[in-house]
Amino acid sequence: MTESQPVPPSSGSPFWRFSLQFYRQPGVAEACIALQEGAGVDVNLLLFLLWHAAQGRRLSDAQLRELEEKIGAWRDLTVIPLRNLRRALKSPPGLVPGAAAEAFRTRIKAVELEAERLQQEAMYALASAALLGEAAPSAAEAARDNVAAYEGLCGSPFAASAVDVLLAPLAKPRD
């Protein structure tokens, strides 16, 4: 997810609304970006796993692999190129005046966010079509299991400090 969310939190699927709320919690954005940069994490997939965990559900390794296969092409053809373009425009070539380049970068950022929202809406539809995962004893346990499964799929260790930040909100008892 990008740094700002201009989309109203009341719109979209329950998964999208969870993502917007969760991502805004202290340290979560930074933890997600650290995992994205350090281990190749798809933040939308990570948030999907945390959303399931918040509902007390953990996904199997097979379900996680199947989900990755279904969403990978979209991410690779839309989200990542838009992210790379947005980042490159932080230091644009001098041809275009700075203010115009920044306005263009802002528009790219909005398109990137829309690509992420569309990915999340498609993931939500996949989850709605078939109940994913199995019940876990707690949201905290489901979150630990889901993140560990994703770490295994990525094949690269996740920074423990980033994982701790992401698991902390799900370890809190619900009111």
- Inter-CA distances, 4 with 49, 96, 123, 136, Å: 21, 24, 21, 32
Domain ranges of the chain: 14-171
Cβ atoms of 29 and 114 within 8 Å: the answer is: no
Q: What is the mean pLDDT of the chain?
A: 91
| CB proximity list for 128: less than 8 A, separation 6 or greater | none
pLDDT of residue 6: 47
- What is the per-residue pLDDT across 61-77, written as a single tens digit (0 to 9) for each? 999 999 999 999 999 99
The pTM score is 0.90
- What is the per-residue pLDDT across 101-157, written as a single tens digit (0 to 9) for each? 999 999 999 999 999 999 999 999 988 776 688 999 999 999 999 999 999 999 999
| CB proximity list for 136: less than 8 A, separation 6 or greater | 53, 56, 57, 58, 142, 145
Cβ atoms of 50 and 146 within 8 Å: the answer is: yes
